[in-house]
Every structure is written in C-alpha cells, then in structure tokens.
Structure 1
C-alpha cells in the first residue's frame, strides 16, 4: 500500500464512565486501532479551547497518532456512559459541542487528496457544519485513489434523519451496521417483515455497495459482498465493557482488506479484535501483537 491515509472523521470526545473518563468517539477509536495495525491513520475532528480539549490532543499525541483536530469556540464533547448488567453502554451525548462544528479548510482538502480510506458515521452529521465538512471531504478524495468509503451508521439518541442516512449510503461503498440499527433503518425505508439477511441483500444492491458488514452481538457477524456472504460466530469472552468494540472491528477489517487479505480473513481478524476489546475497559486498549501482525 502506498503512503496514503486511513481517516476516522467525526466526533472526538470524552466517554465519562463509572470509573472515570476515557478518550473516545467512534472516528478516534477507529483511527487509533488502524494505527495499531501498522497503517498510517489520522483523526479528523474538533475540540474546544478548554482543559478537556487540550487533554484530548495530549492523549492522542501520546498514542503517536496523526491528527487534524481544529480548536473551535465550542466546548469539547463529552458523553455520560452508564454500563448495564450485561456490559452494554447507555449514552447521554452532550449537544452543540466542538465536534459538531468541524471546519472545512485547506489542510483538510489536502488530506483528502492523500486518503485511501475514510470512516464516518451519522452522529457527527447531526449539525449542518460537520455534515457539510464531511461531504466536502468525501468530494475532495480523488477517484483514482480508489478509496474505501465506510459509513459506520452508529445511530445514537435519535441524532439522525432519513435524509442524512440516505445521502450517506449513496456516498459510501462499505456499510457497517448492527442488527438493532438495521431494524431501525428497515422501518425508515419500509422493509418491515423481511429477515435480516434479505434486508442486507436489498441494501447491498440498492446502494451498489462493495460490502455490507452486519454485526449481531453475541449472535455473530456477517459480511455481504455481491453474490457471497461470510459469517463468523462471536467468541465467548468475559466482558469488561463493549465501548469501542464495534470501532475496533471496523478498523481490523479495513486494515486487513488494505493489506490484501481476503474478506474471510479480514472478517476473522475483526471478530478476534473486537472480542479482545470487549475484555478491556474503555475504547482504546493496546492490542496484543498476535492480533496486529
């Protein structure tokens, strides 16, 4: 692979967990794990000119990460996270924060020209500023880069619209969705009463996707490609929490595909990585070398 970047674009924030705060946000989690697989990655986001923002920049810098994170006149994002008895997180995401207001500038336009893959979600598009920035960034990636454009839906607290979901699925060539999100999307798009796999085939064809990744928690995961599906069971592990597990799955999968692995090999590595992250507290544990080599 040439020296082009894998981008995580959107929210960078603090997950405030029962045991204290941990750096998070799906794009930051994704980019961090991609870097652990030895690929050049970059986080694109925004923080406030406040102590929490400075701490995010210092934390990511300590992790050796590339960043294009602007400081803007809004508070740094925080999410109150409560973990239920099954280790499943419940989120209270604060509004009108820095990552809602990511500016599009020359540095970001130049980064787009050196982008091989980008992962974005619906949450960072809840505000028009970041939504337009994401759109401009995607438009600025040269077609000759043959980019992987991953829409990791990441539905949270009703911070999405049918229009945003539609536009994002038209822009992406890889869709990542979980079973609960698929039910929600099916209601939005009028696919009720059809089983999960058939819904995935419909979306794959309708949006001319290269791949559709469906995660179903303890019930395993699927990767749909035209004419073929890969299934992997979910390993049984002792769960600390599931914060960031899905992001690590996406990062491991995309990193493996970019390294030339088959869909099945990439899927297996993604499942192993996600299971390990579930055994660790927080979204950004250091992965063992057995996973990243």
Structure 2
C-alpha cells in the first residue's frame, strides 16, 4: 500500500500545561497511521533540539516513517504559543505562530530523490508556505507529483502569515480536492468577488459560489466542514453530492485537531475503497469523537480500535 505523502509543518504547541507535538500535517499523519493507512511526513526540524525530540517521540509512538524528515542546524523546530480559551468548555484557542522555523526551509530535492514512485495522494496546506524557501519547494513538489498522477488534497487552514489572496490562489491552482471550513470558504469567495450565504444557510445555498470557485481553479471536489452542523461534499460541478450531520456531542473537551481528524478519516476511508458519502459520515463522527478527548491525538491507544473496525471492508459495501 503506497503511503500518503504529507508536506508541511511539524511543531510544538506550547500549552500552559506543557509542550505537545502538533501541526496539521503531523496530526493527519498520526491519525492516518493509527487508522491503518501508511503515512509519510515530509517536514524539517531543528537539529537535536527539544522540540525535535518531542516530535520524534510522537512519530515513533505511531510508527511513522522518518525517511522524509530533514534537520536544520541553524533554525529550531517550529513553535506555537497557545492561548487557551478557558471561559467555556470546548471554546476555541488563539495561536501565536513563531517566525523562521526549520519547516520554513524545507528542501524539495531530497524528497524528489526519495520518492521512487509518486504517492497516490499528497496532503498540503498554506501555513507551511508562508516563507519563500518552503513555498518554492512545496510548489515544485506539487507540480511534479500532480503531473505524475498524485491526487493533491489541500487543507487550506488559513492562519496568520498565510492568509493572503495570493498564497491561497497559488495553493488552489495546485489542488484537486479542497477542504475548508465556512469562514475560510466565505473568505475565498470574498477574495474572488463572489457572494456567500449566511454561515447557517442550507448547504445548497453555497453551490453557486462553490461552482464558480471550483471552475476557476479546476478543482475536482470541495469538502466543507460546518462544526456542529456536520460537513458537505460538493462534486466537480459544485453540486451537493453528500451531506453528513454531526452527532449529538455529550462531552466536549476541546476542538484542537478536529479538522485534522476529519481529513485523516475521510482520506483513510476513501483510500480504503469506501464511497464519498460513507467516508464523509465517518469523518464527521471521528472528528466529533476527537472533541471528547484532550489534544489532537488521544493519549490512550485504545481510542482508535473502534475506528479501525469501522474501516474494515466487512463493515461497508463499496
């Protein structure tokens, strides 16, 4: 089974309770691996620093390959200061992403040499492209892998430093599937001069804007996450092809990594041969379950057992 290639940042989230390995590509890679889908994370860490040790420790817990890691002798592993929202259960946190990290200097050539055959799918986002070196490397890789037939999955994940119309357009030009939340989709439509509905509008109300956006950038599928309202998949013509409602959540610990969990389960299910409707439903349920755990990946290994069973071919009809 060919691994999913994940390009971008691996970093340390600095919570008040202590540092935790994080970053969307690492979060997705860990959950993919735990769900039985091999993942290859391509990132750059500080040479021998404490942050790198934390990331490596977490990768080894999940059995992730270290073959695509790069190490920087001049710059440290990326850091994010997390300002936690303690006012209400499950409230969103704020993030201060520190500048000039090792992952800002990811190199394309070692990865091109490593990949004897193109992966079936490559995952990427915008944050890892905030600086020119990594941006050029990631775009070079995406262009080449796209020509070789890899499906390119963009989790736009707009953050400070990467939330610009120019970078978003460059990402969209290299994507086949796009995953966004409602705020990100509204921003993309605004940047392109397209109307967007109210946040709580019916899924079909997004179709006109989605269709124009997809046609402009040549997208094949758009996945829209809507928090407690679930998620929607739009087909190549901008039509609603699948809708999944979020389950009633008895307990919300935090929402950190829920979107990354959504991507991991969606890709694991789809790559495992499940249709879009079932993959979307599983992704929404998995993301909701993660909200009942602390952090982007649960500390207890048994969390993934039931989800591995859900992905078993005996549990579905393709």
Could you tell me whether the CA contact under 8 Å between 2:127 and 2:161 is conserved in 1? no
Give the alignment of 1:54-203 within 5 angstroms: 54-67=53-66, 68-72=68-72, 73-84=74-85, 85=88, 86-111=90-115, 113-141=117-145, 143=147, 146-194=149-197, 195-203=205-213
Query: Where in structure 1 are there 5+ consecutive unaligned residues?
Result: none
Ranges in structure 2 where 5+ consecutive residues have no aligned partner: 198-204, 310-318
**Mapped pair 1:265 → 2:278:** yes
Contact 1:87 1:239 in 2 (8 A): no
Partners in 1 of 2:77 and 2:110 — Cα distance? 23
Residue deviations 1:250-289, cap 9 Å, x none? 1111111111111001001101110111111111224432
More divergent stretch after superposition (11-20 vs 226-235) = 226-235
Question: In the TM superposition, what whole-angstrom CA distance separates every residue of 1:153-191 from its partner, at most 9, and x where no partner exists?
Answer: 000124232222112111111000000111221221111
In 1, Cα distance between the equivalents of 2:23 and 2:103?
Answer: 10
SS at match of 2:248: coil
Question: 1:24 aligns to what?
Answer: 22
Give the TM-score of the pair, scaled to structure 1. 0.92
Once the 2 structures are TM-superposed, how far is the Cα of residue 8 of structure 1 from its aligned partner? 1.6
Contact 1:5 1:114 in 2 (8 A): no
Asked if structure 2 preserves the Cα contact closer than 8 Å seen for 1:179 and 1:196, the reply is no
Deviates more, 1:254-263 or 1:185-194: 185-194
Q: 1:83 touches 1:241 (CA, 8 Å); kept in 2? A: no
Shift of 1:107: 3.9
Q: CA, structure 1 residues 112+94, in 2 after alignment: closer, same or farther (shift >3 Å)?
A: farther
Residue pair 1:235, 1:275 contacting (<8 A) in 2 also: yes
CA RMSD of aligned residues (A): 1.8
In structure 2, relative to structure 1, the CA distance for the partners of 1:236 and 1:188 (3 Å cut) is same
Radius of gyration: which is bigger? 2
Choose from 227, 235, 245 the match for 2:247: 235
**8 Å contact from structure 1 (residues 74, 97) kept in 2:** yes
TM-score by length of 2: 0.86
SS at 1:15's partner residue? strand
> Compared with structure 1, are the counterparts of its residues 112 and 161 closer, same or farther at alpha carbon in structure 2 (3 Å cutoff)?
farther
Q: Deviations over 1:237-262 (max 9, x none)?
A: 21111111101101111111111111
Structure 1 range deviating more: 263-272 or 234-243: 234-243
3-state SS of 2:222 partner: strand
Aligned to 1:219: 229
Alpha-carbon contact 2:20-2:54 (below 8 Å) kept: no
- In structure 2, the partner of 1:205 is 215
Does the 8 Å CA contact 1:113/1:142 hold for their aligned counterparts?
A: no
Q: Contact 2:13–2:22 at 8 Å: present in 1 too?
A: yes
